[in-house]
């Protein structure tokens, strides 16, 4: 049983987007609980689709993430909103924050793993 946990932790640490998502999901420093939530949602995704859940997760994050951000710039007393492109890291960061916030707002009767699996 302990080997399985080590395999799961190495799987999550292989990809920076997984570890970043776990860190954003973490509440009050409970990283193992956040890792379990992500792993259980991956298992639910695999049961539903019979496809690799890591690929589905990455595709979902890319679909959610924005390409541009709007910044307000003042010029001669007027403020203009100008779109600026985001770097890939900023895109994934915003997309994962939006995904987590959306899953928190959905139906309170389901567990977070089920919500995350349904959204992805």
Examine the pLDDT at 118 and tell me if it is beyond 80. yes
Share of the chain above pLDDT 70, in %: 88
**Nearest-angstrom CA–CA distance, 29 and 114:** 22
pLDDT interval class at 9 (50, 70, 90)? low
Q: What angle do CA 29, 33, 37 make, to 5 degrees?
A: 130
Cα(92)–Cα(95) distance, integer angstroms: 5
Higher confidence at residue 34 or residue 85?
85
Q: pLDDT (tens digit, 9 = 90+) per residue, 43-59?
A: 899 998 888 888 888 89
- Domains of the chain with bracketed CATH: 2-119 (1.10.455.10)
Rounded to whole angstroms, the Cα distance separating 53 from 41 reads 9
For 80, phi then psi, to 5°, come to -115, 145
Whether pLDDT at 2 is above 70 = no
- Range list of H helices, 1-120: 2-14, 16-25, 31-49, 53-64, 88-105, 112-119
Does the pLDDT of residue 1 top 60, yes or no? no
Please check the confidence at residue 3 and state whether its pLDDT lies above 90: no
Mean pLDDT of the region 22-28 = 87
Give 35-94 pLDDT, tens digit per residue.
888 888 888 999 988 888 888 888 988 899 999 999 999 998 899 999 999 999 999 899
């Amino acid at each position: 049983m302990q080997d399985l946990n080590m395999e799961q932790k190495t799987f999550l640490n292989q990809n920076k987007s997984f570890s970043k998502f776990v860190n954003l999901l973490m509440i009050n420093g409970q990283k193992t609980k956040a890792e379990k939530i992500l792993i259980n949602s991956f298992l639910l995704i695999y049961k539903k689709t019979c496809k690799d859940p890591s690929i589905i997760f990455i595709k979902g994050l890319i679909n959610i993430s924005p390409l541009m951000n709007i910044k307000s710039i003042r010029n001669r007393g007027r403020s203009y909103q100008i779109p600026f492109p985001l770097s890939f890291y900023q895109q994934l960061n915003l997309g994962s924050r939006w995904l987590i916030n959306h899953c928190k707002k959905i139906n309170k009767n389901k567990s977070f793993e089920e919500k995350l699996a349904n959204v992805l």
